Structure 1
Amino acid sequence: MGEVRKLQKKLRQIENLEIKISLTPEERYKISRKAELRSRLAELQLQLSGLQQTLGIVGDGKKEKMKRQVEDAPEALPSQTPPASKILKEENESKAQATPAPAARQRESVGNAAEIVRLQEATEPAKVPHHGGDVSGNRPDFDTEQQLQEEEAAFTSLKASWEKARFRLRLLEGHNDIVTSVVAVDNLVVSGSRDTTVKVWHVPTATEHKNLGGHTGGVTCLSAPPPEYCKRLAWSLSLSDKERFILSGSADCYVKIWALSIGQCVKSIYTFNAVTALCFVPEEDGYIITGSDGGKVQTWSWHTFQNCQSVNAHQEAVTSIQSQGPLVFSGSAEGGVSVWENRCSNHDPLRLLQHWSSQVTDLGGEPGGRLTLSPRGDRVFLAYGRAWLKILHWRTGMMSRLTNHCSITGVTDCVHQTGGLLIGSSYDLANGESMLNLFSLPQCRYLASLTWPTAPRILCFAAWTTGSGDHRWVTGGRDLIVWEQLPSSGKQRGDVTVKRDSRMDSCLLESEGDTEDDEETDDYEDEAEENSRPGGTEDVGSSSWLRCVLQ
């Protein structure tokens, strides 16, 4: 069992190496051993668990534990609400409780205020928690039971509709290294790659529209300012009012602003640090927030492009930054999460509201780790290379987790929200299988999974809907792929059909206190790997980018 855990950890470390911007010869050598380690792991799994059940599948004893579904952690108390008046609308939506599991429906917290959630998916009804007796003489028990039945019926209908859903995939060919970031702008997809380029793609024809070359290091992140902020910059540059701009961050320490119609860089910002994450905050005149490989968070004025603030916020590289109204969320490689309020000031606009270290999130411990986050009201969904998604209640520090893979060798690289869906990518280190898992919001209940035989590892995700309401997605990693939802009829060759994994139904949402950590967190020296290395430092190949593509 100890060797199995060591092999699993080695594979996770190798996968983290593969998505680094640059590699040393020693790191390339470790990557070259992935197939050998994966083969050895498969042999051990067969020996330990037999032909009927692999080690990665939850055993009978643990499955019973996984079935103990508990309600989500309570939302923040009113006294903990930060002075962020502009986010009241988002807070009203987020304070509605997630639908509890059947075993927990009778344990609703007494005294919590009831909120009605308006969901973007029409099939998701609002939930009114049950708070016991009603002094007005109404029948809360009957009303609550009826609403629960309606909610369950709506979820069953939504689940059935996704079971019938199909997507057609189109490969966008042009990058010669992994795609690290994607955004969607109108009918265009913009992708950034470790090959130092930013490419613009025309989705209806699946063709390359423009190649934006100018960075001298790998492109790590992208962001698209809203149209109203694009108009202001376009006016100052004497461009069309319909001009759209894209921000790109790179390991070359630059943030570049690109005008999509002319395919040119109109502004470069030198940050003095390798840029590893960025986002645009549409408040007042607008702000660009960047994160560096050293853990620094910086703010730049969209009006003057001058630096407004620099904060040493994290111990390691900032790997994800997202905004929600005037709030900004940053996550780092060591597993910490910070929440900031934008005060719309020309000097030090970000004020730290909360910082939760890796001791609270129970993340980190992996060299070169990569945390991605997606905020929703008082909750932040976290992905950090594990078989599950973490859910941080950022006001209270309460943690829960959502199973995203039925194998402990599975990893989650990215998490995204679109409409009433939570989407998490899943990749199995042991066999190389990849998929997207869909959950309903706000309940976080498993709907379905999407995969196909040659699915690559998915590192980044963007989504939008067509005029008819159908989904269009784009995923990046080893391949850049556009997903187009198809009508329920007229199946053609090559279409991807949604499937369900029944094992995911029995291991949905769990509190941190009710489960054991199945990951090996103790560091160890990779002595066997170093000792088995052949004499001399052999260069694995001059084409380092191509040697470390995801496999």
Structure 2
Amino acid sequence: MLITSLLVFHRKFCLMAVSCDDITDDAEFRSRRQTWEKAKFRLRTLEGHGDIVTCAVAVDNLVISGSRDTTVKVWHVPTATEQRNLGGHSGGVTCLSAPPPEYCRRLARVFDLADKERFVLSGSTDCCVRIWALSSGQCIKSIYTFNAVSSLCFLPEGEGFIVTGSDAGKLQVWSWSSLENCQSENAHLDAVTTLQSQGPLVFSGSVEGSVCVWEVSGQRTEPLRRLHVWGPEVTGCGGDDGVNGRLILSPRGDRVFLTCGKASIRILNWRTGMMTRLTNHSSTAGVTDCVNQIPGLLVGSCFDITNGESTINLFSLPQCKYLVTLTSSDLPRILCFAAWLTASGDHRWVTGGRNLTVWEQLPGSFKKRGDVTVRRDSRLVDCLLESDRDSEDEQNEVDDDEDSIPQDTSETEEPASSSWLRCVLQ
């Protein structure tokens, strides 16, 4: 009798604890939503590139951007001025990466530079990775990869490694200290369009829709060991005719957020292969080009191919609950995104595409109206995470309800996504 009473008490206590957690989560979400509903931003265009801006990273008060015009430019954000033009590539710049300060100090000592020197890596279709010193704009080293570089990332593990992906699906690893090639893997069947590191893991994604998860083995040679491979039949990012969007990923714990030129953000549990989808547009006419994370926020860009409207959707993490939509008149399609916080805790973002735009969050006491419209899309408010299996079942049913969660239609989204792939790799 005593044991039964204790079990009942334990069950009630657990239910109460869960209920309290839900209440706390709801309160935090409401507070975050109200904050973003009142947010104001000032937009400034950084003019100087002569072609599509394909990538951008932030280092302190600097933004570094890469373009199909073959240049890498360094911008001083507070004054919105171009600080340096790094010309050296003979092909379009496709990717950038900024190593952490401690690894910059190690390389600075090798080249007898100041300990505070910061470096940025750039990859290009000219088959080269260049390492730039930001203080002088000098290219201190160049790595020839024998393949057009379509993605890269820096792996801050051990002595540090540079990981590059090619337009032919090859993954290569380079020593940060010696810049020698440590490993080459035929990882994917098509261009590796995204590489991201998370602790001792590296995630790679390709045009054909596959995602690979790699673990750092600690070896100087062949430092990466493949853990998982999930093909397009799992990720849902492949196409039947072989022409797909530029797959972009952003890892968080066991989940990887994926975009591939469709209306939804795919969420892959990389340990189990379970897929869910998060609606990022209220119809199948939306194209999601990039996904990123800010502390507490998931950011997804969206472009409506029917009316040309470009927006940014914000979701609360870890719940992935929709917060607000940000847009501005004549805002071009957003193909890359970088973000950081100012010393006062306000957000600064940079988006790239046809233009390079700085988003500067204004203080709450700012009286004038900002350049950005903040709204709540009622059609996204009630959209919950759904599994791909559930979506497939629903597609087999006849349902004309316009309020249902939108499904992806590859025929509608294909032209926009394939044109973006060509603009990056050509």
TM-score, length of structure 1 as denominator length: 0.70
Q: Deviations over 1:76-124 (max 9, x none)?
A: xxxxxxxxxxxxxxxxxxxxxxxxxxxxxxxxxxxxxxxxxxxxxxxxx
- Tell me the distance in 1 between the aligned counterparts of 2:357 and 2:8: 53
- Tell me the distance in 2 between the aligned counterparts of 1:469 and 1:155: 19
Are the counterparts in 2 of residues 196 and 215 from structure 1 also a CA contact under 8 Å? yes
- Residue identity opposite 1:416 in structure 2: N
- Residue identity opposite 1:158 in structure 2: R
- 1:146 match: 20
Q: Deviations over 1:518-545 (max 9, x none)?
A: 445589xx9xxxxxxxxxxxxxxxxxxx
- Tell me the distance in 1 between the aligned counterparts of 2:324 and 2:10: 42
> What's the offset of the Cα at 1:142?
2.1
Are the counterparts in 1 of residues 264 and 277 from structure 2 also a CA contact under 8 Å? yes
- Tell me the distance in 1 between the aligned counterparts of 2:244 and 2:281: 22
- Residue identity opposite 2:189 in structure 1: Q
Which one of the candidate residues 288, 309, 318 is aligned to 1:433?
309
Which one of the candidate residues 31, 35, 48 is aligned to 1:161?
35
SS in 2 for 1:498: strand
Alpha-carbon spacing, 1:242–1:313, altered in 2? closer, same or farther (3 Å): same
Which one of the candidate residues 491, 511, 516 is aligned to 2:387?
511
- Tell me the distance in 1 between the aligned counterparts of 2:25 and 2:244: 42
Are the counterparts in 1 of residues 119 and 133 from structure 2 also a CA contact under 8 Å? yes
Q: Deviations over 1:212-234 (max 9, x none)?
A: 00000000000000000000111
Are the counterparts in 2 of residues 410 and 428 from structure 1 also a CA contact under 8 Å? yes
SS in 1 for 2:358: strand
Which one of the candidate residues 161, 173, 176 is aligned to 1:287?
161
> Greater strand share, 1 or 2?
2
- 1:445 match: 321
Aligned: 1:456 with 2:332: yes
Which one of the candidate residues 341, 345, 366 is aligned to 1:465?
341
SS in 1 for 2:22: helix
- Tell me the distance in 1 between the aligned counterparts of 2:117 and 2:169: 33
Q: Deviations over 1:201-247 (max 9, x none)?
A: 00000000000000000000000000000001111111110000000
> What's the offset of the Cα at 1:156?
1.0
Aligned: 1:424 with 2:300: yes
Aligned: 1:349 with 2:250: no
Aligned: 1:229 with 2:103: yes
- Tell me the distance in 1 between the aligned counterparts of 2:112 and 2:82: 26
- Residue identity opposite 2:58 in structure 1: A
- Tell me the distance in 1 between the aligned counterparts of 2:349 and 2:409: 34
- 1:339 match: 213
- Tell me the distance in 2 between the aligned counterparts of 1:522 and 1:193: 29
SS in 1 for 2:375: coil
Describe how 1:225-264 pairs up with structure 2 within 5 A: 225-264=99-138
- 1:118 match: none
- Residue identity opposite 2:82 in structure 1: E
- 2:420 match: none
- 2:267 match: 391
Describe how 1:301-320 pairs up with structure 2 within 5 A: 301-320=175-194
> What's the offset of the Cα at 1:343?
1.3
Are the counterparts in 2 of residues 181 and 192 from structure 1 also a CA contact under 8 Å? yes
Structure 1 stretches of 5 or more lacking a match? 1-131, 527-547
Aligned: 1:275 with 2:149: yes
Are the counterparts in 1 of residues 263 and 280 from structure 2 also a CA contact under 8 Å? yes
> What's the offset of the Cα at 1:344?
2.3
Are the counterparts in 2 of residues 134 and 140 from structure 1 also a CA contact under 8 Å? no
Q: RCO (CA 8 Å, sep 6+): is it higher in 1 or 2?
A: 1
Alpha-carbon spacing, 1:307–1:148, altered in 2? closer, same or farther (3 Å): same
- 1:475 match: 351
> What's the offset of the Cα at 1:493?
5.3
- Tell me the distance in 2 between the aligned counterparts of 1:212 and 1:228: 23
> What's the offset of the Cα at 1:368?
4.8
- 1:123 match: none
- Residue identity opposite 1:261 in structure 2: S
- Tell me the distance in 1 between the aligned counterparts of 2:261 and 2:275: 17
Are the counterparts in 1 of residues 328 and 371 from structure 2 also a CA contact under 8 Å? no
Q: Deviations over 1:260-288 (max 9, x none)?
A: 00101000000000000000000110000
- Residue identity opposite 1:291 in structure 2: G
- Tell me the distance in 2 between the aligned counterparts of 1:296 and 1:426: 29
Describe how 1:8-407 pairs up with structure 2 within 5 A: 139-365=13-239, 367-407=243-283
- 2:402 match: none
> What's the offset of the Cα at 1:143?
2.5
- Tell me the distance in 1 between the aligned counterparts of 2:7 and 2:167: 54
Alpha-carbon spacing, 1:234–1:320, altered in 2? closer, same or farther (3 Å): same
- Residue identity opposite 2:102 in structure 1: E
Aligned: 1:415 with 2:294: no
- Residue identity opposite 1:198 in structure 2: V
RMSD over aligned Cα atoms: 1.9
> What's the offset of the Cα at 1:369?
2.3
Alpha-carbon spacing, 1:155–1:134, altered in 2? closer, same or farther (3 Å): farther
SS in 2 for 1:515: helix
- Residue identity opposite 2:112 in structure 1: S
SS in 1 for 2:196: strand
Are the counterparts in 1 of residues 41 and 370 from structure 2 also a CA contact under 8 Å? no
- 1:502 match: 378
Are the counterparts in 2 of residues 183 and 462 from structure 1 also a CA contact under 8 Å? yes
Are the counterparts in 2 of residues 133 and 140 from structure 1 also a CA contact under 8 Å? no
> What's the offset of the Cα at 1:154?
1.7
Report the identity percentage: 65
> What's the offset of the Cα at 1:155?
0.9
133-142 vs 189-198, which deviates more?
Answer: 133-142
- Tell me the distance in 2 between the aligned counterparts of 1:473 and 1:325: 24
- Tell me the distance in 1 between the aligned counterparts of 2:371 and 2:75: 21
> What's the offset of the Cα at 1:453?
1.6
- Residue identity opposite 1:235 in structure 2: R
- Tell me the distance in 1 between the aligned counterparts of 2:8 and 2:348: 45
> What's the offset of the Cα at 1:513?
1.7
Structure 2 stretches of 5 or more lacking a match? 1-5, 396-406, 416-422
358-367 vs 169-178, which deviates more?
Answer: 358-367
- Residue identity opposite 1:502 in structure 2: S
SS in 2 for 1:139: helix
> What's the offset of the Cα at 1:507?
1.5
Are the counterparts in 2 of residues 165 and 497 from structure 1 also a CA contact under 8 Å? no
Alpha-carbon spacing, 1:487–1:272, altered in 2? closer, same or farther (3 Å): same
- Residue identity opposite 1:171 in structure 2: T
